[in-house]
Amino acid sequence: MPVRLALFGFGNVGRALARTLLETKAPFVVTALATKRHGAVVDAAGIDLGTILAGTDLPLRELPPIASVPADVLVEMTPLDPVSGEPALGYVRNALTAGMHVVTANKGPIARAYRELEALATKQGRMLRFEATLADCLPVFTLRRAALPLATITAIRGIVSSTNNHILSAAATGVPFEDALADAQRLGIAEADPRNDLEGHDAAAKATILANVLMGAELVPEDIAREPIDERAATAARAAADNGDRVRPLIEIARRGGKVVASFGPRRLAPMDPLFAVDDFSMGLVFETDLAGRVVVQLHDPHVDQVAYAILTDLLEISGTMPRP
Amino acid sequence: MPVRLALFGFGNVGRALARTLLETKAPFVVTALATKRHGAVVDAAGIDLGTILAGTDLPLRELPPIASVPADVLVEMTPLDPVSGEPALGYVRNALTAGMHVVTANKGPIARAYRELEALATKQGRMLRFEATLADCLPVFTLRRAALPLATITAIRGIVSSTNNHILSAAATGVPFEDALADAQRLGIAEADPRNDLEGHDAAAKATILANVLMGAELVPEDIAREPIDERAATAARAAADNGDRVRPLIEIARRGGKVVASFGPRRLAPMDPLFAVDDFSMGLVFETDLAGRVVVQLHDPHVDQVAYAILTDLLEISGTMPRP
């Protein structure tokens, strides 16, 4: 029996996921699909993704309530308000309440309400998965579950903002701040309003998720100290590069006096730093642990297909069909 | 019901595992234990590891046949002949045949007989796990299962030999070849006869495992082209460092014309290479994949406790008690 998916949101990520599902012939069937502007469709027999990707308008004005959708998993990929986390948070809550598993690509619900949603999922005996929220398919939560069980993570450093890393990487080679930003916008990596990235709100939401999920903290994004990625940081990046170093947009999470504290800002790294070579749109994390020592993961030059793949790995875990090596 | 373990081999790794089992209170009980020189013990009620670690001589001259040992999992950590893979290979085969799961820290059986052993495990409905054979607890096979399902790995580059990387890292700072080697021997990282490391036999066995397990190849260690880590490589490492580069002991595995080919030798890396910062005793791998893009993992400054932890992660997977995040 293939697992039945309801895809909410059908922008770049949703379309990439549809392509990935078609290409990998993974054991899933899409029974509901909601787009922002082109309607929705529900079909318990399965929706032909090839037809949808070709650009057909969908029959329903809007989806019926989540509880009535014939699906096992909600795949939540809607556009969201970064401050409130809505409407994604409501969708996630409703789906878990209705007894569905949930995979979300949206940071908002996890940064705002991880404890509540995880408790709800546990109570319902369902899985809540969100690998794509952090850094595309960079192994983070899958890594924790599979490779770091029982270990205590004592500190995390990392680069989790593609736009900011692209700007500072370009600055290192002499590209002006504004040009690098425009480049990221043209490639669809940076948003039209780039302040969410540049002022560190996106990085703060990700640091919150890491601290709360992996280090047992109870932070909100406003707790993260932020320094912006701006003209001054770009100038520092150029100067550092002239001396063989790099300035990277770094999140740093540590325990201090029983509390978990986190920050984001431009930081100068020497070549022997494990994050030095995490260049341009690449991302990476350094985990300090008790049992496993220092473990580093990096994802180089990801595209939107790598966001879709993160969702696919979550879906495969849920379906219990994870292939053996 | 705790899972019952038979520990074969009680050198540095076995003792580290015993300490880890005691410290983490993981749900296991050791029912058999065999040392090389101090006898063996079988006790279906469970052996007190604290007493054993304190240095008691054990009552049995040698263990009874594996099939009669009251255990669910053989944890194979015996000293082995690197060429034949024995006696470890025989132990692994016998345990699977007797219906036990197997976790091994020995490269030999996996490099020599992965296909046979995996087929035997599948036929018996048991698990064969070997995370510790590659690079301590660097996530490799757990990463593949959890974070890279359905993905095709098209190429692998990496540093998997601590002794060689220590020698070349020391050479970069001006330490003579012989001094760096003696240092690794003093720390118990390099063996008394260092040729297994320096001539690349150890790296070739690991490249064979990676190629066969992760890329579907059918190589034997003799198929891997080897260049030694020697005085000449150390001189090159010093010269490279003077220009800001590093020479690292690299394995490289790729597909060429439908065949998987692999090599080992000293290679010069620039600072923007993801393996540049994998210094001294650290290890790291770069995976090129179709669905996940380029994924990098590194383990920095590992100790023997990180070998034990790799075994523990395999045991936790087998026991099905892997904690959720």
Sequence spans of domains, chain B: 3-137+305-319, 146-301
Alpha carbons A268 and B124: distance in angstroms, whole number:
54
Widest CA span of chain A, in angstroms? 62
Q: Which helix (H) or strand (E) holds A29?
A: strand A28-34
* pLDDT value for A284: 98
Provide mean pLDDT across the span B229-236. Answer: 97
B145/A324 touch (CB, cutoff 8 Å), yes or no = yes
Q: Is the dihedral of CA A276, A282, A288, A293 positive or negative?
A: negative
**Phi and psi (nearest 5°) for A305?**
-60, -30
- B322, closest residue in chain A (CA to CA): A149
Report the side by side order of strands in the sheet with A3-8: A40-42, A28-34, A3-8, A73-76, A101-104, A128-129
Instruction: Give me the mean pLDDT over the B27-39 stretch.
Output: 91
pLDDT at B191: 76
Report the alpha-carbon distance of residue A275 to residue B254 in Å, rounded: 25
Contact B323 A150 (CB under 8 A): yes
C-alpha–C-alpha distance, residues B120 and B100, integer Å: 11
- Chain B neighbours among A 21-80 (CB < 8 Å)? 24, 26
Rg (CA), chain A: 20
- Architecture label for domain B3-137+305-319: 3-Layer(aba) Sandwich (3.40)
| Distance between A60 CA and the closest CA of chain B, angstroms | 33
Say yes or no for a CB contact (<8 Å) between B151 and A322.
no
Minimal-distance CA residue of chain A relative to B321: A149
Answer yes or no: do B146 and A142 touch at CB < 8 A.
yes
Task: Tell me the residues of chain B between 202 and 221 that have a Cβ less than 8 Å away from chain A.
Answer: 213-214
Which conformational region is residue A89 in: left (phi greater than 0), alpha (psi within -120 to 50 degrees), or beta? alpha
Structure tokens given for A220: 């909100």
Whether A296 sits inside 8 A of B295 (CB atoms) is: no
Q: Kindly state whether B276 is in contact with chain A, defined as any CB-CB distance less than 8 angstroms.
A: yes
DSSP conformation class of B186 = H
pLDDT band at B189 (very low <50, low <70, confident <90, very high): confident
**Residue A320 at interface with chain B, using a CB cutoff of 8 Å:** no
Residue B322 has pLDDT above 50, yes or no: no
> Given this model, what pLDDT does residue B222 score?
97
Mean pLDDT over each residue of chain B, to the nearest integer: 94
- Sites in chain A below the pLDDT cut of 50: 322-325
- Give B-chain residues touching A276 at CB under 8 angstroms: 271-272, 276-277
Asked if B162 is an interface residue toward chain A (Cβ–Cβ < 8 A), one would say no
Interface test with B, best of A20, A114, A115, A137 (most B CBs within 10 A): A137
What's the rounded Cα separation, in Å, for the pair B160 and B285? 8
* Residue environment code for A300-317, b if the CB has 16+ CB neighbours within 10 A, otherwise e: bebbbbbbbbbbbbbbbb
Q: How confident is the model at residue B324, as a pLDDT?
A: 41
Closest CA to A161 of A39, A283, A60: A283
Q: Which two tokens stand for residue A191?
A: 């948003």
Give chain B positions within 8 Å (CB) of A214: 325
Q: Is the pLDDT of residue B129 over 90?
A: yes
Say which CATH superfamily domain A146-301 falls into: Dihydrodipicolinate Reductase; domain 2 (3.30.360.10)
| Chain A residues inside the 8 Å CB shell of B139 | 139, 143, 146-147, 295, 297
pLDDT at residue number A64 = 83
Q: Is A292 on the interface with B (CB under 8 A)?
A: yes
Whether residue B323 is predicted with pLDDT greater than 50 in this model: the reply is no
A245-296 pLDDT, tens digit per residue, is 999 999 999 999 889 999 999 999 999 999 999 999 999 999 999 999 999 9
pLDDT at A322: 41
Q: Write phi, then psi, for A320 (nearest 5 degrees).
A: 65, 15
Q: Is B159 on the interface with A (CB under 8 A)?
A: no
Per-residue pLDDT band at B325 (split at 50, 70, 90): very low
Task: State mean pLDDT over B258-280.
Answer: 97
Contacts of residue A244 in chain B, CB cutoff 8 Å? 244, 271
B313 touches chain A (CB under 8 A): yes
DSSP-based three-state secondary structure for B28? strand
pLDDT at B6 over 70: yes
Instruction: Kindly determine whether residue A296 and residue B284, on different chains, have CB atoms separated by under 8 Å.
Output: yes
Residue range B65-123, pLDDT digits in tens: 999 999 999 999 998 766 667 789 999 999 999 999 999 999 999 999 999 999 999 99
Q: Would an 8 Å CB–CB cutoff place A302 in contact with chain B?
A: yes
- Respond yes or no on whether ipTM tops 0.85: yes
- Rounded Cα–Cα distance for residues A297 and A320 (Å): 25
| Residues on chain A touching B297 (C-beta within 8 angstroms) | 139, 295-298
**Which residue has better confidence, B25 or A325?**
B25
